[in-house]
Amino acid sequence: EKLTVPEVRPKVIRACEDLVEAEVAGKGGLSGAAIKAGFRVLKAIKPGIVAEVIDRLLSEFTDAIEPLHAESMTLSERGGPSPGRSFTAHLTDNDARAAQALLSVTDRRAAKANNRTIKKTYDRLRGSAEQHVKAAVPDLARTIAPFV
């Protein structure tokens, strides 16, 4: 909920957009080349799509990871680290759950996409998405921790 309040939302969107750009730029090998190519296609079809998609999905992403946030708050209340640090650690420790939660949102959205190119690109990249999202969870946790 804190991530979506009007005074914080634009900062979260910008931070997440920077994270997405950095994650894509850092990919290597054949799968990295495919991700970069797909990303270029998406951005060519619709400039500003990254921020737009983050904005459109932020509430759903927030809802998807809320159970992990609630668990981290409980751990913090029981004498664990501070809430922001606890959230970062808990999300990182539960990277597979976090990745699945986030991908459940994009899977639902991709299934409803009207643009065939976007849908085809998503479907082609989805097979490797879980490993990439899971690997990005620690950076995501650090990115959003200042806002929770």
pLDDT tens figures, 84-97:
568 888 999 999 99
Phi/psi-derived region of residue 81, left when phi > 0, alpha when psi is between -120 and 50, beta in every other case: beta
What mean pLDDT, rounded, does the chain reach? 89
Distance CA 60, CA 45 (A): 24
Q: Give the three-class secondary structure for 143.
A: helix
Q: Would you give the distance in Å from CA 134 to the centre of its chain?
A: 10
Distance CA 86, CA 115 (A): 40
**Mean pLDDT of the 119-134 span:** 86
Tell me: pLDDT of 118 over 90.
no
Tell me: pLDDT of 81 over 60.
no
Distance CA 96, CA 54 (A): 20
Global pTM reads: 0.82
- Residue 75 is predicted with a pLDDT of 79
Distance CA 109, CA 85 (A): 31
